[in-house]
């Protein structure tokens, strides 16, 4: 009987090890920890898909609930279950800006007439899940508020499946215009010349799009002075850039998952996933994607050789479905800020762009940095050779990564010096 128990235990341990194991690049530090994080995500996704198949719940809603439960558990372990439980002295308020839910973080009041920095933050999560109220974001925004004497506004924009593009963008734009109004800036004692917009991943997409819109809107008197983008998603026309191909099956965010996020966000049929992974939606023949537009995301000219390596562009001659005409949002600069013209980019605020080697979105950020610089915008870039997508959200025990801690510190230091 005892021998049977030993055999069963060994088999279960072997099965668990097999499930957790994910091939990772040699450059990844703390690989086992990343495997555990990735296995946890895969488990949550698989359970959500099963519930959806059984007709119990939408898979995104189910996945959200699992993430929120996991986040609550970690917060309880860290003893920071309340919004104000991370940094003493920072005032936290849940209100609305132009009807959009936001969480406002206010540092301790300064002296008479003392003006503070302002920062609007859009969280990541594939336009489908996540919240600025979750542990990692809540901790980061409180740190920024406290260390940099900054009023931080974290925006709770609407998500898929409740809405899709352009609603999340419009939520963020409405909140941004409200924040930048002279009355609101005065209410929070914010210096109108020191206001930033920032975000990570899908939130980086929204931050870049909002920065462009605000920069070219003459009705907005106060503009953002800086934009800080963390591994942003900036285009959905080429899913065969070197970083997409190199990190095809990378932990946390493999290519197929990022493509699914894009299709969901743009209101397209998920069954198109194989077509767009093959770049069939951006074929040459009979395409509204003109040569001039193509040049705006041509990685063969926008990336340095060390990122291009030996990869070859994937350009399809023809496709029969007319996907760009069926899903025109692929070409909308509000969803794909990398497609903006040079005349728009030239008006944008100076930028900080953080990218990671092991991230499908690496080249989006690198190409945007190059295009902004070519348009005359000052750009600071932080590139982490051993970084992976989402690393900035993993800075605390038990899932803290050294690269995440360094990336977070680099981001905050840049804001300290440039905002």
CATH number at residue 250: 3.40.50.1820
Kindly tell me the burial class for residue 257, based on how many C-beta atoms sit within 10 Å of its own C-beta (0-12, 13-18, 19 or more): middle
Closest listed residue to residue 208, CA positions, set 371, 82, 50, 34: 371
- Active-site residue flag, 359: yes
Q: What is the largest CA-CA distance in the chain?
A: 79
Which distant-in-sequence residues (6+ apart) come within 8 Å of 198 by Cβ? 119, 120, 121, 122, 204, 207, 227, 228, 229, 230
CB 201 within 8 A of CB 389: yes
Whether 73 maps to a domain, the answer reads no
Q: Do residues 214 and 223 make contact, with C-beta atoms less than 8 angstroms apart?
A: yes
Q: Which of 178, 389, 393, 396 is catalytic?
A: 389
What pTM does this model have? Answer: 0.93
What pLDDT does residue 375 have?
A: 98
Predicted local confidence at residue 4, as pLDDT: 53
Both tokens assigned to 152? 């931080």
Angle at 123 between CA 159 and CA 174, to 5 degrees: 65
User: According to the model, what pLDDT value does residue 13 have?
Assistant: 39
Catalytic site residue from 359, 363, 364, 382: 359
| Cα–Cα distance for residue pair 56/384, rounded to 1 Å | 41
Active site residue 201: yes
Q: What letter does residue 237 receive in the DSSP assignment? A: S
Query: How many residues appear in the chain?
Result: 419
The answer as to whether 21 is a domain residue is: no
Q: For 147-179, how does the pLDDT look when each residue is reduced to its tens digit (9 = 90+)? A: 999 999 999 999 999 999 999 999 999 999 999
Residue 6 has what pLDDT? 43
Run of H or E including 105: strand 100-106
| Within-domain flag for 404 | yes
Catalytic residue of the set 201, 225, 282, 335: 201
Strands across the sheet with 116-122, in order?
91-97, 100-106, 150-155, 116-122, 190-200, 226-230, 350-358, 379-388
Q: Does residue 77 sit within a domain?
A: no
**Which residues, given as ranges, of the chain have pLDDT below 70?**
1-20, 52, 70-86, 110-113, 320
Residues 282/298, Cβ–Cβ less than 8 Å: no
Burial (Cβ within 10 Å: 0-12, 13-18, ≥19) of residue 380: middle
Instruction: Note whether residue 19 is domain-resident.
Output: no
Residue 20 lies in a domain: no
Locate 65 and state its tokens: 């609930």
Q: Is 268 left (phi over 0), alpha (psi -120 to 50) or beta?
A: beta
Write out the residue range of the structural domain in which residue 117 sits. Answer: 82-418
Residue 375 DSSP code: T
CA angle 258, 259, 262 (to 5 degrees): 90
Task: Return the pLDDT at 330.
Answer: 97
How many domains are contained in the chain? 1
Nearest-CA neighbor of 25 among 398, 388, 402, 392? 388
Q: What is the pLDDT of residue 3?
A: 55
CA distance 353 to 344: 18
Answer whether 132's CB lies under 8 Å from 103's CB. Answer: yes
Contact 207, 227 (CB under 8 A): yes
In a domain, 151, yes or no: yes
Whole-angstrom Cα distance, residue 296 to residue 411? Answer: 27
Strands in 138-259 per DSSP E = 150-155, 190-200, 226-230
DSSP-assigned letter for residue 329:
G
Indicate whether 29 belongs to any domain.
Answer: no
What tokens appear for 94 in the block?
Answer: 């849940």
Neighbours of 405 (CB within 10 A): 15
Structural Rg of the chain based on CA atoms = 22
Beta bridge partners of 100: 97
């Amino acid at each position: 009987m005892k021998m049977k128990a030993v055999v069963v235990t060994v088999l279960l341990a072997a099965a668990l090890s097999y499930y957790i194991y994910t091939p990772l690049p040699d450059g990844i530090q703390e690989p086992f920890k990343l495997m555990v994080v990735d296995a946890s995500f895969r488990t949550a996704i698989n359970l959500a898909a099963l519930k959806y198949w059984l007709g119990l719940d939408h898979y995104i809603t189910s996945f959200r609930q699992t993430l929120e439960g996991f986040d609550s558990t970690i917060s309880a372990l860290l003893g920071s279950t309340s919004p104000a439980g991370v940094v003493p002295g920072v005032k936290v308020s849940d209100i609305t800006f132009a009807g959009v839910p936001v969480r406002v973080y206010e540092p301790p009041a300064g002296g008479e007439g003392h003006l503070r920095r302002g920062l609007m933050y859009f969280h990541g999560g594939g336009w489908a899940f996540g919240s600025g109220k979750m542990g990692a974001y809540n901790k980061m925004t409180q740190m920024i508020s406290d260390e940099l004497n900054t009023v931080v506004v974290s925006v709770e924009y609407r998500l898929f499946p409740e809405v899709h593009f352009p609603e999340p963008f419009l939520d963020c734009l409405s909140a941004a215009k409200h924040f930048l109004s002279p009355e609101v800036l005065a209410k929070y004692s914010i210096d109108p010349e020191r206001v930033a917009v920032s975000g990570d991943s899908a939130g980086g997409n929204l931050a870049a799009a909002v920065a462009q819109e605000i920069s070219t809107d003459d009705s907005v008197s106060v503009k953002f002075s800086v934009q800080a983008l963390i591994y942003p998603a900036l285009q959905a026309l080429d899913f065969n850039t070197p970083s997409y191909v190199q990190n095809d099956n990378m932990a946390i965010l493999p290519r197929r998952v990022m493509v699914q996020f894009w299709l969901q966000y743009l209101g397209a049929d998920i069954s198109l996933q194989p077509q767009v992974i093959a770049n069939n939606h951006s074929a040459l023949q009979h395409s509204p994607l003109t040569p001039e537009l193509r040049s705006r995301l041509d990685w063969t000219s926008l990336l340095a050789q060390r990122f291009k390596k030996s990869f070859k562009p994937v350009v399809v001659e023809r496709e029969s479905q007319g996907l760009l005409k069926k899903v025109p949002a692929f070409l909308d600069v509000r969803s794909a800020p990398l497609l903006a013209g040079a005349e728009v980019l030239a008006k944008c605020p100076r930028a900080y762009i953080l990218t990671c080697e092991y991230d499908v979105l690496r080249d989006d950020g690198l190409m945007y940095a190059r295009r902004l610089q070519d348009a005359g915008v000052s750009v600071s870039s932080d590139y982490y050779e051993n970084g992976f997508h989402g690393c900035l959200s993993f800075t605390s025990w038990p899932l803290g990564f050294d690269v995440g801690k360094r990336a977070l510190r680099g981001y905050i230091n840049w804001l300290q010096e440039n905002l």
